[in-house]
Amino acid sequence: MRTFQLIFVAISACIYFCGCDRDRAPYTGGDSPPMSLMIWMETDTVKFCPGDTATANGVVTVSSDGRAFRNIPVDISVGPNDGFIEYTNPVLRDTTDHLGRVTFRFQCFERTGVFDVVAKAAGGEGKWPLVVQRESEGPYCFHVTVEPDTLWLFPGQQDSSLVTVCLVDSARRNPIYYPCWRHQGIEHVSLHLQATGGSFGPLPPFDSTSCSSTWWYFRNTSGTFYVSVPLMCDELVSVFVGFVHP
C-alpha cells in the first residue's frame, strides 16, 4: 500500500509541478487528436473499521502527446459492487482542469470485495481494481492490575489503589494496538469498571499503549473486594482493606 501511495504522490506532483501543459498549451478546441486517459489511485487495497467507511483518493488525467485536455467531462463509476464517487474539485467537479485532470474520492460503507473504478472520457477508458476489506479485530480481552492490593486504614481514613486496564492479546497477554484505533487509541469503547466495594474515579480514554488507569477509593470500609470489567482475561482481581486500631 505504501508503494502505491508514493507512486500516487509522485505522479500528482509531476503533473502539478512539471505540468503536462508546461511545454505545450492545453488543448481547448478544434480538431481533436487521439486522447489518452489514465486513472491512478493511492492504493490497490483499502481496509475499513467496523461501522466505518472505506475511502481512497484518485486522479484521472486526459492528454494527448503530452498536451493536457481542458474542459473534458469525465464519467467515473464503480462496479460491480455498490460504491460512491465524490468529485473533490468543488468548482469543476467532473470536468478536467488546465492540467487535464479530475480528482475524486472513492467511498463505500460496510461493503467488501473487488470494486472496479472506471473512468470514461471522449471514447477513452481506464479502470482501477480496488480491493476493499474489513479490518480484523482479532481475539483480545482486558487484563486488570491493582496496585497496591493490600491497604491498612485508620478509622475514617481514605486511601486508594491504582487500577490499570489494558487491552491484550488473549493468547500472549501482551498489550496490542488494534489498527482501527490507531488514531485515538480505543476511546470509543465504553468500559465500565465494577467492584464489590469502594468507588472508582473516571476511567479516561485508552492511550497509545492500549491501557488506561484510574483510582479505586476506600473509606470506612474493610474486607476483600473484587474488581471486574467486561471481556476480562483473568479471574477477578482483589484488594484487601483492613482497619488499623490505635
Q: How many angstroms separate the CA atoms of 175 and 142, rounded?
A: 9
89 pLDDT band, cuts 50/70/90, is very high
Domain 2-134 fold: Immunoglobulin-like (2.60.40)
Please tell me the predicted confidence (pLDDT) of residue 12.
54
pTM across the whole model: 0.51
Domain boundaries, the chain: 2-134, 140-243
Please tell me the predicted confidence (pLDDT) of residue 178.
57
Domain 140-243 fold: Immunoglobulin-like (2.60.40)
Please tell me the predicted confidence (pLDDT) of residue 231.
74
Please tell me the predicted confidence (pLDDT) of residue 33.
59
Highest mean pLDDT among 29-38, 48-57, 103-112: 103-112
Please tell me the predicted confidence (pLDDT) of residue 180.
59
Domain 140-243 in the same topology as domain 2-134: yes
pLDDT tens readout for residues 9-42: 455 555 444 444 434 444 444 555 567 899 999 9
For residue 77, what is its C-alpha cell? 463509476
What does the mean pLDDT of the chain come to?
A: 78
Pick the closest to residue 121 from 32, 58, 41, 55 (CA basis).
32
Query: Phi, psi at residue 70, to the nearest 5°?
Result: -95, 150
CB 116 within 8 A of CB 133: no
> In the chain, where do the E strands start and end?
36-41, 45-48, 53-64, 67-68, 75-79, 84-87, 101-109, 113-121, 124-134, 140-147, 150-153, 158-169, 194-195, 199-200, 211-219, 223-228, 237-243
pLDDT tens readout for residues 138-196: 566 788 889 999 989 888 888 999 998 887 765 555 665 555 554 444 544 557 788 88
Considering only residues 140 and 46, tell me which one the structure prediction assigns the higher pLDDT.
46
CB atoms within 10 A of CB 244: 10
